[in-house]
Amino acid sequence: MTEPLRVDVLTLFPRMFDGPLRQSLLGRAIESGLVEVRIHDIREHAHDKHRQVDDYGFGGGPGMVMKPEPVFDAVESLGEEPKRVVLLSPAGRRFDQAMARELATEPRLVLICGRYEGVDERVVQGLPAEEVSIGDFVLAGGEVAALAMLEAVTRLVPGVVGNEESLGEESFEEGLLDYPHYTRPRSFRGMEVPAVLLTGDHAKIERWRREAALEKTERNRPDLLEAEAMGPDGGADERGSSEEAP
């Protein structure tokens, strides 16, 4: 085996990771030593007498902001080795499959989970940390987003997903959504499995799947088809700012 991917997660809610890290794909990847995940409680790096990790925001406005010192201390306690530091944030660059592939090649990742209104901007500037968002919706903190990223990255680490699931054939890898899947029974509540899937004619099945994937993509994610037509940069310049973080 090659070096495992090591991920350090910094959070004020370490117990949110207990269940997910023991289950299913993440649990098996960790159990088999392909991925090493360490959860760190940011509050253990608060050194004032009240163990304070948040404070009022300069300039006013509602809500509290996470102080920079405990976050810097927590990251610095991880040692000197170079590592990619990601700050989960609704104002981050959008996480996608290309970023997941990139992160899966790193030896070490640090995921910082904020709470409240977010983290003092000097964490981004000074550590430095890359701000990443998992999508245009509002969560209460970075923990669930970190788990989503962790699962997306972990399943791309060689050896985590077996050969029975070919990673190249699934959604996004070809710019289309996945084709529809069916299993037994052949007839269920009056709904039939498409006859072509029962023919054993693999060329015909391949053509049907491609067409069905295209229809599903047109219906559910027309933006993916437009992006394809506009080339690899998705025509970012022409499209304006309607897809920025909330």
Instruction: Rule CB under 6 A: say whether 61 interacts with ligand JFB.
Output: no
Instruction: Rule CB under 6 A: say whether 7 interacts with ligand JFB.
Output: no
Pick the closer one to ligand JFB by CB: 20 or 92: 92
Question: What residues from 63 to 102 belong to the interface with ligand JFB (CB under 6 A)?
Answer: 88-90, 92
Pick the closer one to ligand JFB by CB: 70 or 118: 118
Cα dihedral across residues 93, 94, 97, 103: positive or negative: positive
Pick the closer one to ligand JFB by CB: 63 or 185: 63
Considering only CA atoms, which of 131, 123, 128, 140 is closest in space to residue 42? 123
Q: How far is the CB of 142 from ligand JFB (least distance, A)?
A: 3
* C-alpha distances out from residue 190 to 137, 170, 209, 212, 244, Å: 37, 28, 22, 20, 44
152 vs 196: CA distance, rounded Å: 32
Instruction: Rule CB under 6 A: say whether 57 interacts with ligand JFB.
Output: no
Q: How far is the CB of 159 from ligand JFB (least distance, A)?
A: 27
114 vs 129: CA distance, rounded Å: 13
124 vs 130: CA distance, rounded Å: 6
Pick the closer one to ligand JFB by CB: 1 or 140: 140
Q: How far is the CB of 121 from ligand JFB (least distance, A)?
A: 13
Instruction: Rule CB under 6 A: say whether 114 interacts with ligand JFB.
Output: yes
124 vs 112: CA distance, rounded Å: 11
The mark string for 129-168 relative to ligand JFB (x by CB under 6 A, - otherwise) is ----xxx-xxxxxx--x-----------------------
Instruction: Rule CB under 6 A: say whether 115 interacts with ligand JFB.
Output: yes
Instruction: Rule CB under 6 A: say whether 118 interacts with ligand JFB.
Output: yes
| Gyration radius of the chain over CA positions | 22
For the beta carbon of residue 170, count every other beta carbon within 10 angstroms.
14
Q: Which residues have CB under 8 Å from 229's CB, separation 6+?
A: none
Which residues make up the interface to ligand JFB (CB under 6 A)? 88-90, 92, 114-115, 117-118, 133-135, 137-142, 145
